[in-house]
């Protein structure tokens, strides 16, 4: 149970010549008595306030700025229309796209206002019409396979196959007859212990082929297989195993005649981006796999991680792998010789690490001459590109001109592409990109879906990311980050003041910070914070060599790079060296805690479901990442030495922790241990726990509360200002 109090808010217009006036804002908090009251529910937290003070009023009243005049106020204290309600409302997540038999776009979106429920939506039949929800209210589309899920639905013609969150069973549903309830396809085991993902319809045998994770015998070491689910019977039948024996599987993909199936497999201790294998199986008349061939990944002279296999309409197998130059590039299999040839080579990433199922980085197209073309996305030096590769004409690459600078997945439509992407002014969106007859130019670009359709009305407040390259502590090695300056058309700070900095360490840690419109970042910058999103060594997007900097050195490279980035910005005169804060979720939470324990760069931090005890994580985390920690942390000794919980004596600055109570990736005990230890040591600390949340927060009220509490926590403890929003701060032990 948390304890809360109302905050005192002040705002004043000060002279730009006054360099000390901003200290009033922080001192005002401590001049008024507050009464703390415990609240059990988020509703009570929002509705109930108990305070025996009145709002502090300044001697100089706030005024509305004219067009030619900005109000001068301390960084961090600026008023902004980008509120936490706006941010949480823009936190819809996209879970993939597909096209139905009529060429209509189908997408999966999670809705924070509905506790993060995943809903399938179909594009309106008529232009300008409203999209239609496919998923009935008693269902939610989401799979728990490998904990992170993905690939939770498949569209085939007029039918959608999907995994239901509550029972984890597979269902099928007609898109054109939405009054007919979904039909279960897999057995009911009494609890959600068997999950399915990344499936594909097999028309030859009228079955559904899918990856299955079975946790009936062990939740820590479930079995993973590729199974077939019969569709012709009226009774639900037990799925039949097609492929088994390896620790993990992904991307089961059938050729156009359902005579061959390709898939990716890998085993401990590797992650799929470290070392994986691409296999092809030949399917007998009975639907069984009678012969297997390893296409890529079994040559001991080549270290590679093939991914995303896909068959062309001609029956050729294409895939992406990082053999040779260390970057994920397109390749194809010459079946007659069992040989792999590059399709197009570039020092750029044509794929992403396989954290979730169902990624789709390229599609096959045909132009008016019936030539096979490949639409693909690739990432180079912090920017995404959409291109068309002509595999016949010497693998010529044509780059399409579209507004997105960041691209995730591609879905082929009728004479168009549906592209999941974003930019510095576009939030996460799906755009319909119409192509010319030659499929060499984009002739139209329309946003079909947006995570925040109203975001443009705040555009005057947006801070655009600046890609920076900064030196690390290793001579000759640089890392990358996106830097956002404070930006607000109504406010400015005094010339003598430099802004506080919030540095974000992304999760993964095999992931990538991206310079796209993120309203949670704009929440900070529009209030006068500088913000930097760091791609430390180990991040993706820069090739295998950069990614493998972190192997055996987790808690060292990432921490050093984050500190180097902050120091670089201080030395560049862009931020205040006395007001450096750090935040991060999951692995980013670990980097946050490690930076605060082992370095003295930052003055406060926020850990969102972060790792405090790496060895505990090794023992308790789920199967997918159970050996990942060993490869990153340098074994038991390295994990012990780099676990913040084992070095509590080194913590000296304030920390706030946020944790979901149903988190199976980083168990809640991690946050509780660090909280209790810091509380006993006398370091200012606060802990917020959320019922019903797993790894990552999906509920709007929790997204909002987390953002608000970070803001007011930093403001009270290191900011030297008071926030301009009505935020009730939780009690901070060893401070309040």
Q: Per residue in 143-153, pLDDT tens? A: 999 999 999 99
List the structure tokens of 487.
Answer: 């930006």
Q: What is the pLDDT of residue 150?
A: 96
Average pLDDT on 431-444 reads 92
d(CA 130, CA 314): 37
Residue 248, classed as helix, strand or coil, is strand
Domains of the chain as residue ranges with CATH: 106-245 (2.120.10.30), 376-453 (no CATH), 463-718 (3.40.50.1820)
Average pLDDT on 192-215 reads 97
Q: Residue 558: pLDDT above 80? A: yes
Q: What is the pLDDT of residue 236?
A: 93
Helix boundaries (H) for 82-236: 84-89
Residue 278's CB: how many other CB atoms inside 10 A? 28
Q: Per residue in 63-111, pLDDT tens? A: 444 445 899 999 999 999 999 999 987 668 899 999 999 999 999 999 8
Q: What is the pLDDT of residue 91?
A: 66
Residue 88, classed as helix, strand or coil, is helix
User: What is the residue whose two structure tokens read 């660090």?
Assistant: 674
Residue 697, classed as helix, strand or coil, is coil
Which neighbouring-strand residues pair with 493?
Answer: none
Q: What is the pLDDT of residue 394?
A: 62
Q: Per residue in 598-653, pLDDT tens? A: 999 999 999 999 999 999 888 888 899 989 998 998 888 999 999 999 998 999 99
Q: Residue 507: pLDDT above 80? A: yes
**Measuring CA to CA, how many Å separate 650 from each of 91, 657, 678, 683?**
36, 17, 10, 10
Helix H, strand E, coil C: the string for 509-547 is: CCCCCCCCCCHHHHHHHCCCCEEEEEECCCCCCCCHHHH
Number of helices (H), then strands (E), in the chain: 12, 40
**Measuring CA to CA, how many Å separate 173 from each of 135, 181, 185, 411, 412?**
9, 7, 10, 21, 22
Q: Residue 34: pLDDT above 80? A: no
Q: Residue 485: pLDDT above 90? A: yes
Short-list 519, 509, 499, CA closest to 479: 509
Residue 32: burial class (beta carbons within 10 Å; 0-12, 13-18, 19+): middle
User: What is the residue whose two structure tokens read 């905050």?
Assistant: 7
Q: Per residue in 309-352, pLDDT tens? A: 999 999 999 999 999 999 999 999 999 999 999 999 999 999 99
Q: Per residue in 6-26, pLDDT tens? A: 222 222 322 333 333 232 223
Average pLDDT on 357-376 reads 86
The listed range with the strongest mean pLDDT (109-118, 595-604, 670-679, 718-727) is: 595-604
Residue 475's CB: how many other CB atoms inside 10 A? 6
Average pLDDT on 238-260 reads 97
What is the per-residue burial (b if ≥16 Cβ within 10 Å, else e) of 255-266? beebebbbbbbb
The answer to whether the beta carbons of residues 295 and 236 sit under 8 Å apart is no
d(CA 37, CA 28): 21
User: What is the residue whose two structure tokens read 């929440």?
Assistant: 523
Q: What is the pLDDT of residue 393?
A: 58
Residue 179's CB: how many other CB atoms inside 10 A? 6
Residue 592, classed as helix, strand or coil, is helix
Q: How many residues does the chain have?
A: 736
Classify strands 194-202 and 207-214 as parallel, antiparallel or unpaired. antiparallel
Q: List the 240-243 sheet strands across, edge first.
A: 194-202, 207-214, 223-230, 240-243
Average pLDDT on 400-416 reads 95
Please indicate whether residue 50 or residue 684 has the higher confidence score (pLDDT). Answer: 684
The answer to whether the beta carbons of residues 359 and 150 sit under 8 Å apart is yes
- The mean predicted confidence, pLDDT, of the chain is 88
Q: What is the pLDDT of residue 55?
A: 31
d(CA 4, CA 726): 13
Which neighbouring-strand residues pair with 317?
Answer: 311, 333
Q: What is the pLDDT of residue 90?
A: 67
The answer to whether the beta carbons of residues 526 and 82 sit under 8 Å apart is yes
Q: What is the pLDDT of residue 68?
A: 52
Helix boundaries (H) for 550-699: 557-571, 587-598, 614-620, 628-633, 635-641, 669-681
Residues 6+ apart with CB under 8 A from 64: none
Q: Per residue in 719-733, pLDDT tens? A: 989 999 999 999 999
Q: Per residue in 261-283, pLDDT tens? A: 999 999 999 999 999 999 999 99
CA 552 and chain centroid, separation? 24
Q: What is the pLDDT of residue 232?
A: 84
Q: What is the pLDDT of residue 182?
A: 96
Q: What is the pLDDT of residue 39?
A: 33
d(CA 277, CA 321): 10
Res. 368 pLDDT band, cuts 50 70 90: low
Q: What DSSP character marks residue 575?
A: S
**Measuring CA to CA, how many Å separate 41 from each of 2, 589, 659, 688?**
10, 25, 15, 12
Short-list 156, 158, 238, CA closest to 202: 156
Res. 48 pLDDT band, cuts 50 70 90: very low
Q: Residue 582: pLDDT above 90? A: yes
Helix axes 587-598, 557-571, angle to 10 degrees: 70
What is the per-residue burial (b if ≥16 Cβ within 10 Å, else e) of 664-674? ebbbbebbebb
d(CA 562, CA 582): 9
List the structure tokens of 693.
Answer: 């949340």
Q: What is the pLDDT of residue 618?
A: 85
Residues 6+ apart with CB under 8 A from 669: 616
Residue 653: burial class (beta carbons within 10 Å; 0-12, 13-18, 19+): middle
Residues 6+ apart with CB under 8 A from 301: none
Short-list 587, 612, 581, 586, CA closest to 678: 612
Short-list 113, 85, 115, CA closest to 704: 85
d(CA 707, CA 695): 16
């Amino acid at each position: 149970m948390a304890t809360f109090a109302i905050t005192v808010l002040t705002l004043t217009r000060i002279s730009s010549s006054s360099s000390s006036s901003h200290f009033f804002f922080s001192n005002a908090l401590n001049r008024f008595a507050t009464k703390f009251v415990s609240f059990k529910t988020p509703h009570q937290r929002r509705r109930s306030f108990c305070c025996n003070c009145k709002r502090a009023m300044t001697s100089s009243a706030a005024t509305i700025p004219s067009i030619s005049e900005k109000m001068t106020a301390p960084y961090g204290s600026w008023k902004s229309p980008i509120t936490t309600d706006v941010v949480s409302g823009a936190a819809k997540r996209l879970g993939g796209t597909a096209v139905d038999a009529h060429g209509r776009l189908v997408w999966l979106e999670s809705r924070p206002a509905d506790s993060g429920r995943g809903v399938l939506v179909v594009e309106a039949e008529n232009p300008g019409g409203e999209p239609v929800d496919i998923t009935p209210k008693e269902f939610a589309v989401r799979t728990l396979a490998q904990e992170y899920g993905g690939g939770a639905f498949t569209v085939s013609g007029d039918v959608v196959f999907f995994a239901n969150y509550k029972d984890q069973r597979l269902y099928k549903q007609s898109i054109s007859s939405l009054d007919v309830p979904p039909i279960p396809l897999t057995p009911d085991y009494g609890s959600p212990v068997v999950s399915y993902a990344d499936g594909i319809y097999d028309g030859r045998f009228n079955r559904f082929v899918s990856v299955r994770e079975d946790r009936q015998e062990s939740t820590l070491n479930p079995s993973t297989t590729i199974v077939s689910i019969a569709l012709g019977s009226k009774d639900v039948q037990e799925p039949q195993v097609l492929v088994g024996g390896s620790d993990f599987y992904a991307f089961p993909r059938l050729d156009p005649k359902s005579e061959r199936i390709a898939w990716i497999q890998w085993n401990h201790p590797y992650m799929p981006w470290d070392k994986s294998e691409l296999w092809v199986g030949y399917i007998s008349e009975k639907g069984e796999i009678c012969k297997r061939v390893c296409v890529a990944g079994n040559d001991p002279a080549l270290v590679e991680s093939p991914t995303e296999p896909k068959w062309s309409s001609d029956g050729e197998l294409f895939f992406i792998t990082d053999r040779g130059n260390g970057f994920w590039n397109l390749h194809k299999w010459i079946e007659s010789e069992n040989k792999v040839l590059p399709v197009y080579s570039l020092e750029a990433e044509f794929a992403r690490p396989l954290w979730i199922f169902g990624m789709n980085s390229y599609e096959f197209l045909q132009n008016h001459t019936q030539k096979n073309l490949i639409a693909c996305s690739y990432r180079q030096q912090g920017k995404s590109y959409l291109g068309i590769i002509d595999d016949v004409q010497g693998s010529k690459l044509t780059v399409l001109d579209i507004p997105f600078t960041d691209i995730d997945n591609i879905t082929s439509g009728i004479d168009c592409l549906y592209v999941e992407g974003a930019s510095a002014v576009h939030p996460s969106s799906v755009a319909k990109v119409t192509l010319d007859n030659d499929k060499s130019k984009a002739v139209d670009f329309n946003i079909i879906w947006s995570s925040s359709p109203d975001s443009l009305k705040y555009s005057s407040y947006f801070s655009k990311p600046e890609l920076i390259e900064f030196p690390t502590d290793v001579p000759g090695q640089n890392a990358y980050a996106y830097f956002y300056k404070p930006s607000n058309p109504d406010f400015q700070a005094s010339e003598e003041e430099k802004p506080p900095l919030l540095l974000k360490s992304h999760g993964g840690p095999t992931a990538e910070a991206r310079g796209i419109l993120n309203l949670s970042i704009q929440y900070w910058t529009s209030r006068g914070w500088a913000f930097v999103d760091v791609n430390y060594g180990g991040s993706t997007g820069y090739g295998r060599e950069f990614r493998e900097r972190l192997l055996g050195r987790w808690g060292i490279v990432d921490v050093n790079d984050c500190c180097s980035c902050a120091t670089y910005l201080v030395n560049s005169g862009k931020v205040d060296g006395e007001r450096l804060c750090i935040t991060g979720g999951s692995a980013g939470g670990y980097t946050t805690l490690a930076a605060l324990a082992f370095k003295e760069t930052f003055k406060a931090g926020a850990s969102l479901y972060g790792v405090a005890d790496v060895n505990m994580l090794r023992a308790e985390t789920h199967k997918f990442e159970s050996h990942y920690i060993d490869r990153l942390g340098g074994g038991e000794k390295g994990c012990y030495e780099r676990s913040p919980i084992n070095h509590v004596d080194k913590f000296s600055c304030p920390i706030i922790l946020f944790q979901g109570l149903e988190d199976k990736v980083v168990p809640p005990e991690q946050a509780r241990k660090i909280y209790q230890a810091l509380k006993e040591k006398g370091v200012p600390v606060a802990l917020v726990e959320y019922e019903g949340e797993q790894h990552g927060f999906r509920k709007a009220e929790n997204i909002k509360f987390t953002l608000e509490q970070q803001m007011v926590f930093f403001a009270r403890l290191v900011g030297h200002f008071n926030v301009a929003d009505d935020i009730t701060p939780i009690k901070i032990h060893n401070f309040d």
